[in-house]
Amino acid sequence: MKDLGAEHLAGREGVQLLGLLNLYLEREQRFQPREKGLSLMEATPENDNTLCPRLRNAKVEDLRSLTNFFGSCTETFVLAVNILDRFLALMKVKPKHLSCIGVCCFLLAARIVEEECNIPSTHDVIRISQCKCTASDIKRMEKIISEKLHYELEATTALNFLHLYHTIVLYHTSERKEILNLDKLEAQLKACNCRLVFSKAKPSVLALCLLNLEAETLKSVELLEILLLVKKHSKINDTEFFYWRELVSKCLAEYSSPECCKPDLKKLVWIVSRRTAQNLHNSYYSVPELPTIPEGGCFDESESEDSCEDMSCGEESLSSSPPSDQECTFFFNFKVAQTLCFPS
């Protein structure tokens, strides 16, 4: 089979698509979570002091809920997960810090992706997420995350490849343009993001697997041939491709099963106590601030950066007692509103 090149991508737009694909392929490795750190997390047993895969996956599901609540786009969610995984693969994180870290990853991603008018305030995100930390804690943690990732937060993700592959396919195909549903493909990618194992996959491979499986479902020979050209141009070997394709297929099959806990798309619900409701006004912006966590309770970053680092800090830091009824007027009911296991 011929290579994917100027002969197949004729015209200015085709050349631009090919150039963008080459750029993404060149950049993707830089933004991969460190495999050693991911493997250590996968092998970690569940206990009160260690971060295990279940806690990581639950935090990604929380990120999905935050992006859904604030109306953020899929790119914000995928980038937040990338920042989270890269940081967790580099640092030894205690479970009590994970909530603050998740909020920071969401805010960092939102500031990169969203229009300024759509970026939620730090105080709003703190109240909605119930992360039990202050704006000062968030600011300090954002600085730690940014420094550890060398301020390279705008990553090349599987979503970038998914959109580009989709555009390339539509550029080539003679079939109906609506045959590949991008919203469905994005939802499938979110389902994969909710599982730690897929953080090890190259973004280019993960995106190609999703499109390949969809083309097979549609029984489109033309789409499969185009994707085969993309695979060859991206230098994705068969062993790697079929390994991840099998895992993605299994994940999507479980997602489609009746046993899977899918979001029911119910309207998000505010839960307030009777006493709070009596004093409730039109806005919650007048709610008193939560007690400030002492600045002295910072992270210990003395560990070697050549291995996973230990983010240990004082017991007071990022673990203040639950807010009183008046201190936190609104409580977001995650049991009703979270889209935890998989996105829609």
Residue 77 near residue 190, CB atoms below 8 Å: yes
Domain count, the chain: 2
- Chain centroid to CA 229: 29
Regarding whether 145 and 39 lie in a shared domain, the answer is yes
DSSP at 89: T
Taking each helix axis as running N to C, give the angle between helix 158-172 and helix 182-193, from 0 to 180 degrees, rounded to the nearest 10: 150
3-state secondary structure of 149: coil
Residue 302 lies in a domain: no
Residue 144 lies in a domain: yes
β-bridge partners, 331: 271
Residue 202 lies in a domain: yes
Q: Which of 236, 256, 276 finishes a domain?
A: 256
Q: What is the pLDDT of residue 19?
A: 92
In tens digits, the chain (344 residues) has pLDDT values of 445 554 454 567 778 899 999 999 999 999 999 999 999 999 988 876 889 999 999 999 999 999 999 999 999 999 999 999 999 999 989 999 999 999 999 999 999 999 999 999 999 999 999 888 999 999 999 999 999 999 999 999 999 999 999 999 988 877 665 678 999 999 999 999 999 999 999 999 999 999 999 999 999 899 999 999 999 999 999 999 999 999 999 999 987 766 555 544 444 555 666 666 666 544 444 444 445 545 444 444 444 344 444 454 333 333 333 343 333 333 333 333 343 333 44
Residue linked to tokens 């994707």: 227
Residue 318 near residue 293, CB atoms below 8 Å: yes
Regarding whether 113 and 50 lie in a shared domain, the answer is yes
Residue linked to tokens 């080459």: 22
Regarding whether 251 and 197 lie in a shared domain, the answer is yes
Domain that holds residue 248: 156-256
Residue 220 lies in a domain: yes
Provide CB contacts within 8 A for 304, sequence distance 6+: none
Q: What is the CATH number of the domain that holds 143?
A: 1.10.472.10
Regarding whether 209 and 134 lie in a shared domain, the answer is no
Q: What is the pLDDT of residue 320?
A: 36
Regarding whether 172 and 116 lie in a shared domain, the answer is no
Separation CA 257–CA 248 (nearest Å): 14
Counting Cβ atoms within 10 Å, is residue 80 exposed (0-12), middle (13-18) or buried (19+)? buried
Q: What is the pLDDT of residue 49?
A: 80
The DSSP bridge pattern shows strands 91-92 and 309-310 to be parallel
Q: What does each C-alpha distance from 28 to 108, 161, 191 come to in angstroms? A: 19, 10, 20
Q: Which of 200, 226, 256 finishes a domain?
A: 256
Regarding whether 38 and 116 lie in a shared domain, the answer is yes
Q: Which of 188, 132, 226, 154 is nearest to 342 (CA)?
A: 188
Q: Which of 256, 280, 306 finishes a domain?
A: 256
